[in-house]
Structure 1
Amino acid sequence: MGDSVQKTITTWYVDPDAENRMSDGHAPIWRHLIDVMVERDLSEKSVLDFGCNQGGLLRHLHAIRPFRKALGVDIAEQSIARAEALKGNLPIQYAVGGTVEGWVEEFDLAISHEVIYLVEDIDTHAADIFKALKPGGVYYAVTGCHTDNPLWPKWRELVAKRTNTVVQDRSISDYGRTFAKAGFEVSGRKLEYDGFIPFVEDGWTPDFADALDYYTQTKIIFRLVKRLG
């Protein structure tokens, strides 16, 4: 991948407290994502969480749909250390890095949540995930951070200010074309989160109406299938 992706960082957020709060905010979305995933029985499956941060998504996934083994990868060193500390006896391995190069046909399922918009070389990322999946494997890539988001001009400034990452400008169609070019069968849906959305004035959504629209309309899930044969 590009140089900025290969470099590691300490934490995603400039404010370490924001890093620790991120898991609490994402947990209901993770549970909703797990609920809409087509794959139900993961007991014999291997799972990749790309951009796993502190490992919360994999812990939620194992509690709801236990998997055989998993790998969590992230460029944030302290986040991976925290994930290791929290994993207990779960069958999860963690690694610091911005690529899964070297993993070939290892995973049945891959997931990324709000990560692909920060990947500089999205073509290489798509190719890496494709190679890492077994034939028939599936990649769920979730993001609301795209140029079709009406809040994007404001958000890209906040991402630059509040995080230690470099944001990329891409549309939903840009992602679709990239993943199709990598060989995936591409489909998608709106997240359509159906739980109650908390009223939080944190700068990301200027009005509560924006938050309601974001979680029900703007945030999307790509389902990317590596075809058999």
Structure 2
Amino acid sequence: MLAALSAAPDQTAMVGESSFFVDPNDDDLLESRNSVFWEAMLDNIRRDRFGRVPKRVLDIGCHRGGLLARIAELWGGDALFGIEPIPAARARAQLRLASCAKTVQILSPEQWKLVPDRSLDLVVCHEVLFTIEDLRGLVGNIARVLASGGRAYVVAGCHAENPVWSMWRDAFEREGRQVYTHRPLELMGFAGEFGLNPAVRPLRETGWATYDPADNVFAFPSVGALLDHQFRHKLLFRLAQK
């Protein structure tokens, strides 16, 4: 999800807005835009010989809870956690997920410590790294909350190695949004520092790349750039607890 959140363990996200986007209507489109990428991530998790059914799950940047709801639909759930800086989105996620698991906690970024140590089977994160300044803090939190044998799956297309990111970054900055440019190897390096086993692959290898050139949020200069983004530069990282 797209949400401006801080990942530092004791830092508060200073959002002060009801939406990350200039046009709040874009919030209503997020799930339809992201569904193909969510399904690709979940397909990879299913095929990845995950050691157990993930019953305790956290979504970083959960927005209105769509991805967590899909995970609960697939695997059930004992506990669902979300980290989300936007109060209106947190409230909607909490209400939406209330019947999906025995425990549902949708937290603001400064409440990371409410997620118990070594308690989670699965952490997911879809396209929020570019809104996070403290990448090391984020990885530290992931390492802290994953149980033995647990895994995090992090999707990132907005990163330093993707040529279209510089265009999108400039557009966000013109709109007054604070965004950050991270290198994929930086994320993997922090994972190793915190004792996680990092791995990476393209998120998608097949399928259609849907795109409406009227999209004002993430524009592409060419079909080639679109295909490179979706099938080459949009990455899925696996951070595995030993």
- Give the distance between the partners of 2:178 and 2:53, measured in 1 at CA: 34
Aligned twin of 1:34: 42
Q: How many residues align?
A: 225
Aligned twin of 1:94: 106
Give the alignment partner of residue 76 of structure 1, picking from 62, 81, 86. Answer: 86
Runs of 4+ in structure 1 deviating by more than 6 angstroms, as ranges, are none
Secondary structure, aligned partner of 2:189: helix
- Give the distance between the partners of 1:47 and 1:8, measured in 2 at CA: 25
**Deviations for 1:52-111, whole angstroms, at most 9, x for unmatched residues?**
011111111222232322111111111112223433511133122256224211211101
- Give the distance between the partners of 1:218 and 1:5, measured in 2 at CA: 30
**Deviations for 1:123-156, whole angstroms, at most 9, x for unmatched residues?**
1111111111112211111100111001121011
Q: Which runs of 5+ in 2 are unaligned?
A: 1-7
Aligned twin of 2:20: 12
Aligned twin of 1:52: 62
Secondary structure, aligned partner of 2:240: strand
* CA contact 1:8–1:96 (8 Å) conserved in 2: no
Summarize the Cα distance change of 1:17–1:40 in structure 2 as closer, same or farther, 3 Å threshold. Answer: farther
Summarize the Cα distance change of 1:192–1:126 in structure 2 as closer, same or farther, 3 Å threshold. Answer: same
* CA contact 1:140–1:223 (8 Å) conserved in 2: yes
- Give the distance between the partners of 1:40 and 1:28, measured in 2 at CA: 25
Secondary structure, aligned partner of 2:62: coil
Aligned twin of 2:149: 136
- Give the distance between the partners of 2:125 and 2:34, measured in 1 at CA: 12
Q: Write out aligned runs for 1:190-229 (5 A).
A: 190-201=202-213, 202-203=215-216, 204=218, 205-227=220-242
- Give the distance between the partners of 1:2 and 1:81, measured in 2 at CA: 22
Q: Does 1:25 align with 2:33?
A: yes
* CA contact 2:63–2:89 (8 Å) conserved in 1: yes
Q: CA deviation at 1:5?
A: 5.2
* CA contact 2:9–2:112 (8 Å) conserved in 1: no
Q: CA RMSD in A?
A: 2.2
* CA contact 1:7–1:98 (8 Å) conserved in 2: no
1:51 partner letter: G
Aligned twin of 2:4: none
Q: CA deviation at 1:215?
A: 0.9
- Give the distance between the partners of 1:73 and 1:55, measured in 2 at CA: 10
Aligned twin of 2:5: none
* CA contact 2:51–2:149 (8 Å) conserved in 1: no
Secondary structure, aligned partner of 1:101: helix
Aligned twin of 2:3: none
2:238 partner letter: R
Aligned twin of 1:63: 73
* CA contact 2:203–2:234 (8 Å) conserved in 1: yes
The percent identity for this pair of structures is 24
Summarize the Cα distance change of 1:87–1:145 in structure 2 as closer, same or farther, 3 Å threshold. Answer: same
* CA contact 2:202–2:235 (8 Å) conserved in 1: yes
- Give the distance between the partners of 1:83 and 1:102, measured in 2 at CA: 17
TM-score, normalising length: structure 2: 0.84
1:192 partner letter: R
